[in-house]
Amino acid sequence: MAKPQPSRALFADLYELTMAQAYWQHGHNAPATFSLAFRNLPPDRGYAVFAGLEDALDHLETLRFTGADVAYLRSLGLFDTAFLDWLPSLRFTGGVRAMAEGDLVFAEEPVVEVTAPVIESQLVETAVMNAIGLQTMLATKAARVVYAAQGRAVVEFAARRTQGDEAADRLARVSYLVGFGGTSNVLAAARYGIPPVGTMAHSFISSFPTEAEAFDIYADSFPDTSTLLVDTYDTVEGVRRAAETGKRLRDAGHALRAIRLDSGDLLALSIASRRVLDEAGLTDVRVLASGGLDEFDIEALLAAGAPIDGFGIGTKLGVSADAPWMDWAYKLSEYDGAPVLKLSEGKASLAGRKQVYRKTDGDGMYAADTLALEDEQLPEGDGAPLLTSVMRGGQRTGPTPTLPELRERFAANFARLPDRYKTLRSPDVYPVHHTWALEETQWRATQNTLARQQR
What span, in angstroms and rounded, lies between the C-alpha atoms of 255 and 272? 21
Q: Which of residues 26-55 bind a copy of itself (CB under 8 A)?
A: 26, 28, 32, 34
Give, as one character, the DSSP assignment of residue 11. Answer: -
Closest CA to 385 of 179, 99, 51, 171: 99
Task: Give the N- to C-terminal CA distance of the chain in Å, as an integer.
Answer: 58
Residues 325-354 that bind a copy of itself (CB under 8 A): 325, 328, 330-332, 335, 340-347, 349
Subset of residues 224 to 253 that bind a copy of itself, contact rule: CB under 8 A:
225, 231-235, 237
**Residue number with CB closer to a copy of itself (186 or 415):** 186
Q: Name the residue nearer to a copy of itself (CB basis): 312 or 383.
A: 312
Q: Which of 153, 187, 368, 432 binds a copy of itself (CB under 8 A)?
A: 187
Which secondary-structure segment (H or E) carries 82?
helix 81-86
Nearer to a copy of itself among residue 326 and residue 417 (C-beta): 326
Distance CA 114, CA 116 (A): 7
Write the burial class of residue 67 (CB in 10 Å: 0-12 exposed, 13-18 middle, 19+ buried): exposed
Stretch that binds a copy of itself, among 165-173, 297-305, 373-381, 402-410 (CB under 8 A): 165-173
C-alpha–C-alpha distance, residues 215 and 110, integer Å: 52
* Strands of the sheet with 31-38, listed across from one edge: 338-339, 328-335, 31-38, 112-117, 95-98, 388-392, 395-396
The distance of closest approach from Cβ of residue 254 to a copy of itself in the complex, given in angstroms and rounded to an integer, is: 14
Of the candidate spans 96-104, 217-225, 356-364, 411-419, the one that interacts with a copy of itself by CB under 8 A turns out to be: 217-225
Closer of 16 and 405 to a copy of itself (Cβ): 16
Return the residue of 67, 281, 305, 324 that touches a copy of itself, per CB under 8 A.
Answer: 324
Question: Is residue 256 near a copy of itself by the rule CB under 8 A?
Answer: no
Which of 127, 143, 178, 289 forms a contact with a copy of itself (CB under 8 A)? 127
Instruction: Give the count of residues interacting with a copy of itself (CB under 8 A).
Output: 115
Give the CA count within 13 Å in the CB-facing half-sphere of 397.
Answer: 11
For residues 391 and 381, what is the distance between their CA atoms, to the nearest angstrom?
A: 28
Choose, by CB under 8 A, the member of 220, 244, 309, 405 that binds a copy of itself.
220
**Can you tell me which of 136, 162, 270, 441 binds a copy of itself, judged by CB under 8 A?**
162
**Chain centroid offset of residue 315 CA:** 15
Q: Does 86 bind a copy of itself (CB under 8 A)?
A: no
